[in-house]
Amino acid sequence: MDDSQYGKEDTRGNWVPDARISYGPFFSWPPQAKALFKWFFGYPGYFLPWNALYAVLAILIWQFLTPSLESFTASTAYWIGVILARNVILALLVYGGWHLWFYVWQKQGTAFKYNRKWPKKQSSAFLFNNQTADNMFWTLVSGVPIWTAYEVLLLWAYASGHATMLNFSDHTLTFVLLFFLVPFIHEVGFYFAHRSLHWPPLYRVAHKLHHRNTNPGPWSGLSMHPIEHIIYFSTILLFIFIPSHPIHMINLASRLGLAPAQGHTGFDRAVIGDKNTMDISYYAHYLHHKYFEVNYADGMVPLDKWFGSFHDGSPESHAAMRSRIAHRNTGES
């Protein structure tokens, strides 16, 4: 499929989308009621398709793939194994699915691929001299177990009364509103966790491992050092303090565990059929992998704009980034 209607190649042959990265109207001033309503409920928008998909997935996980809360007050080791097995299967399906579609079957070739080059098949920068094998190792051996540990801890907290639980029947409005708030919680938590990982000592010890993936694929998303996994998933602990239902915690946990696959495909759009495409863009995060010091958040809450690290993909933003780095380096010399 011709991707020139959505973007163009730069001088290095990389594909660049025409649309600049922007934030939704939620933080615009003065408020724009019509635009805000369309953004919340339209397609594509805040809730559709991806936030709705993760909300539905959380409901299914809670209803059909999670033992009763009473199970977590006894025989905890057994139920840890059950949740771990469930999360491993989910990771294999989601990360493996994106990887098969784009990188094994190459269903759309390099159409809409930011970096037109494919990851090298052999590289000494990675375990096993292979980026995909390395990424799978860190995801499945470290990432999924740490995700599981946080999730089981919170399920135990709900079961034992250490976390305040809200039921749908008694707190219907709050229950529903929390579904809308989970993406905000995810975004803010990710930003501050991510910024902390760029503190030089933590970067050298932990985050450097993730940033080896300068040409990322789906499995790169959760390929992190165990220290980074502990920090990254720690946002889940907020639900010890926020009155909620386990389904909200699972919504956040499953987003943290699975959404990085989509965020690291390296593609802007998925081609569906001969003429249709679906926006899967995480261009803001791709630019972070490319330039390291921009776009620490995913682009929904304007934290990067507020703290001076925003790059919208334009030449102007790139010039501002270079000026900021040059000014900092001058100050250090």
Residues 153/160, Cβ–Cβ less than 8 Å: no
What tens digit of pLDDT does each residue of 153-176 get?
999 999 999 999 999 999 999 999
Residue ranges of alpha helices (H) inside 267-332 are: 283-291, 303-307, 315-332
Average pLDDT over residues 105-134: 96
Q: Which of 36-45, 89-98, 323-332 has the highest mean pLDDT?
A: 89-98
Q: Determine the pLDDT at residue 333.
A: 52
Average pLDDT over residues 80-101: 98
Of 9, 24, 19, 68, the residue nearest 299 (C-alpha):
24
Average pLDDT over residues 119-134: 96
Structure tokens at 102: 């784009």
- Residue 120 neighbours by CB under 8 Å, 6+ apart: 131
Write phi, then psi, for 9 (nearest 5 degrees). -85, 140
Structure tokens at 91: 């990771």
Q: Determine the pLDDT at residue 277.
A: 94
In the predicted model, what is the mean pLDDT of the chain?
95
Other CB atoms within a 10 A radius of the CB of residue 286 amount to 23
Average pLDDT over residues 65-83: 90
Q: Which of 17-26, 87-96, 273-282 has the highest mean pLDDT?
A: 87-96
Q: Determine the pLDDT at residue 29.
A: 86
Q: Determine the pLDDT at residue 332.
A: 63
Other CB atoms within a 10 A radius of the CB of residue 78 amount to 10
Average pLDDT over residues 225-235: 99
Question: In terms of DSSP bridges, do strands 269-272 and 276-279 run parallel, antiparallel, or are they unpaired?
Answer: antiparallel
Question: How many angstroms separate the CA atoms of 56 and 63, rounded?
Answer: 11
Residue 331 has pLDDT above 80, yes or no: no
Average pLDDT over residues 42-51: 91
The pLDDT-based confidence of 203 (bands split at 50, 70, 90) is very high
Question: How many angstroms separate the CA atoms of 172 and 166, rounded?
Answer: 9
Question: How many angstroms separate the CA atoms of 148 and 66, rounded?
Answer: 12
Residue 24 has pLDDT above 90, yes or no: no
From the CA atom positions of the chain, what is the Rg in Å?
20
Greatest extent of the chain over all pairs of C-alpha atoms, in Å: 62
Q: Determine the pLDDT at residue 177.
A: 95
Percentage of the chain lying above the pLDDT 90 cut: 85
How does 33-71 read in b/e, with b if 16+ C-beta sit within 10 Å? eeeeeebbeeeebbbeebbeebbebbeebbeebbeeeeb
Q: Determine the pLDDT at residue 50.
A: 94
Backbone CA torsion sign across 226, 255, 129, 268: negative
Which of these ranges, 40-49, 104-113, 114-123, 242-251, has the smallest mean pLDDT?
40-49
Question: How many angstroms separate the CA atoms of 36 and 329, rounded?
Answer: 41
Residue 264 has pLDDT above 90, yes or no: yes
pTM of the model: 0.95
| CA-to-CA dists, residue 260 to 80, 142, 216, 263, angstroms | 23, 15, 11, 5
Write phi, then psi, for 296 (nearest 5 degrees). -75, -25
Residue 2 has pLDDT above 70, yes or no: yes
Of 273, 272, 249, 270, the residue nearest 261 (C-alpha):
270
Of 183, 260, 194, the residue nearest 232 (C-alpha):
194
SS3 state at 267: strand
